[in-house]
Amino acid sequence: MSKTWGGRFSQGTDAAAERFTASLAFDRRLWPQDVAGSIAWTRALARARVLTDAERDAIVKGLEAVRGELEAGTFSFRPELEDIHTNIERRLVELIGEVGGKLHTGRSRNDQIALDERMYLKDAVTRARDGLRAVQAALVARAGETSAAPMPGYTHLQRAQPIVLAHHLLAYVFMLERDRERLAGCAARADRLPLGAAALAGTAFPIDREALARELGFGGVTSNSLDAVSDRDYVLEYLAAAAITGMHFSRLAADLTLWATAEFGFVEFSDAFATGSSIMPQKKNPDVAELMRGKTGRVFGSLVALLTVVKGQPLYGNLVAVLTTMKGLPLAYNSDMQEDKQPFFDSVDTLEAVLGVLPPLLASLTFRTERMRAAAGEHYATATDLADYLVRKGLPFRQAHEIVGKIVRLALERGVALEALPLDALRGFSPLIEADVLEALTVDASLRARAVTGGTAPAAVARALAEARALLGS
C-alpha cells in the first residue's frame, strides 16, 4: 500500500474518499516550510543521538535535492500520497533509500502542519506589513502635495464641513498603521515552535525543542502539546486582521470611485488603472478600485468560512454564532482542521494582490483640487462656524445652533449662500452678529479654526504629516 499508515489496513481507500480527504491540491504551497522544518528536525534527531551523523548527512543531502526539484518545478507530485508532507518524504526515500524513513521518527503530521503553517504565516505577515508600508508611503506622498487643498468633508454622504484633502488621505495612513500592528501581534503570537508536540502528547525522544526553535527562527516553543496541534487561532487572527485591512481598503476604494463620478468630479483615474465600456465609447470606469472593494468580500468570506469549518458545520451561520460554538471541536487534532488552508491561502493571495496594485494606483491619480475647493464652501458647509462665532460671543451652543438653523432656512428660501445674506438680515437673528462675521464664514477661516491635534487646520495637518512620515521610517 502507498499510504504511510497502511500497515493497519487490509483494504485500499475508496477512490472518491481518497480525493475527498487529500489536501495536496492546496497544501503543496507549503513545501519550502516543510523542507526547512524537516532539515531542522533531522539535525535535532542527530543531536538527540536518534540518528548517526552519517544518517543525518544523508537525509539532509536528500532533502536539499528534493528542494532543488521543487524549486526547479521538476518534482513529481503524487495525489494518492494525500499531502505535501508525504510527497516529500516518499521522494526522499526514493533518492536515498530506507534511511529516509527515519526522518519521521518522533514527529507527526499534526505538529508538522502546525509548524509549516506558522512559518508560512510569519512570512505572509512580513510581506503584508511591507506592502502596507508601501501603501502608506504612497498616501503620504499624495498628502504632502495636498496639505493646503480644501475639499468638502462628509457625514451621511452629505456635505458637512470643509477639510483638506491631505487630512482625508492621512486618515487611511493611520488606519493602516493599526492594521500593521494587528498583523505584527498575530505573528508574535504565532512565533512559538509546535514541532515536538508530535500527534498530541509530545515526542518520546529527547529533542532539544529550544535549540530547534532557534534554528527555525522561532522566539520560543509551545508550552502544551495538545494546544500546539489542536488550535488554529493564529490563522483565525491573520484572517481577522486581513478582513479589517480589507475593510479599510474597501472604504478607500469607495471614496475614490465616488470621487471619480461626474457628480463629484474630484479625481481622474489614469488610463493605466481604468477600463472602458464595450458599448459606450465615452465611458472610463475605475475597475481596479472597484475590484479592490469587491475582493474584500472574499477576505470576509474566508474568515467566516474558516470559523464555520473548524466547527465542522456546513458553510453558513453568522460570525458570532460560530465563535460561540467553536468549543464543539474536541482536543486534539481533527481532520476538520485540514480545511483551514484554503480560506487562509485565499486571504493571503487576495490581500497581497491588493497591496501590489494600490501604491501605483494612488501615485497615478489626478486630484482636481480646484473643483474640490469650490465644493468645500457650497451647501452651507460653514454653518457650524457661524454657530461657533456666536459661542465665542457668549451665546450657549444650543441657542447658537437653533439660530443658525433658522439663518440657513432663510438662505435656502432666498437661494443664496450664508455669506450672501445681508448683515442686517443676519443681525435680525442675533444682535451678537457683527461685520466680522463674513470672515468667519470663509472656507479658509473654517479650516484654520480646527487647529487641535488631529484637526484639519493646515498647521495641524502639517504635524500629522510629519508624524506619518516618521512612521514610514520606523
Active site members:
156, 277
CA–CA dist 185, 166 (Å, integer): 29
Secondary structure of residue 148 in the 3-state scheme: coil
Q: What DSSP assignment string belongs to 78-122? A: -GGG-SHHHHHHHHHHHHH-GGGGGTTTT--HHHHHHHHHHHHHH
CA–CA dist 370, 413 (Å, integer): 28
Contact status, residue 220 vs residue 213, Cβ threshold 8 Å: yes
Secondary structure of residue 266 in the 3-state scheme: coil
Q: Report CA-CA distances (Å) from 206 to 49, 117, 213.
A: 9, 24, 15
Secondary structure of residue 285 in the 3-state scheme: strand
CA–CA dist 441, 382 (Å, integer): 6
Amino acid in position 302: S
CA–CA dist 291, 203 (Å, integer): 47
The closest alpha carbon to 266, from 254, 276, 274, 258, belongs to 258
Quickly tell me which residue has 503553517 as its cell. Answer: 117
Q: 457: left (phi > 0), else alpha (psi -120 to 50), else beta?
A: beta
Q: How many CA atoms lie within 13 A of 288 on its CB side?
A: 19
Burial 148-161 (b: 16+ CB within 10 A, else e): ebbbbbeeeeebeb
Contact status, residue 403 vs residue 429, Cβ threshold 8 Å: yes
